[in-house]
Chain A
Amino acid sequence: AQSVSQHNHHVILSEAASLELGCNYSYGGTVNLFWYVQYPGQHLQLLLKYFSGDPLVKGIKGFEAEFIKSKFSFNLRKPSVQWSDTAEYFCAVSSTSGTYKYIFGTGTRLKVLA
Chain B
Amino acid sequence: DVKVTQSSRYLVKRTGEKVFLECVQDMDHENMFWYRQDPGLGLRLIYFSYDVKMKEKGDIPEGYSVSREKKERFSLILESASTNQTSMYLCASSSRTGENEKLFFGSGTQLSVL
Contact = CB atoms under 8 A, between A and B. Distances in A.
A49 interface: yes
27 contacts: A6-B42, A36-B103, A43-B90, A43-B108, A44-B92, A44-B103, A46-B102, A46-B103, A49-B101, A51-B98, A51-B99, A90-B42, A90-B43, A92-B43, A92-B103, A100-B31, A100-B50, A100-B94, A100-B96, A101-B45, A101-B56, A102-B92, A103-B45, A103-B59, A104-B44, A105-B42, A106-B41
Given A43-B106, A43-B107, A43-B108, A104 B101 contact: no
A39 to B, nearest CB: 12
A17 B62 CA distance: 43
Nearest to B30: A100
Interface in B36-77: 40-45, 48, 50, 56, 58-59
A27 to B, nearest CB: 13
A102 B33 contact: yes
A63 to B, nearest CB: 15
B43 A34 contact: no
Given A46-B103, A106-B40, 13 more contacts: A36-B103, A44-B90, A44-B92, A49-B101, A51-B98, A90-B43, A100-B48, A101-B48, A102-B92, A102-B103, A103-B59, A104-B42, A106-B42
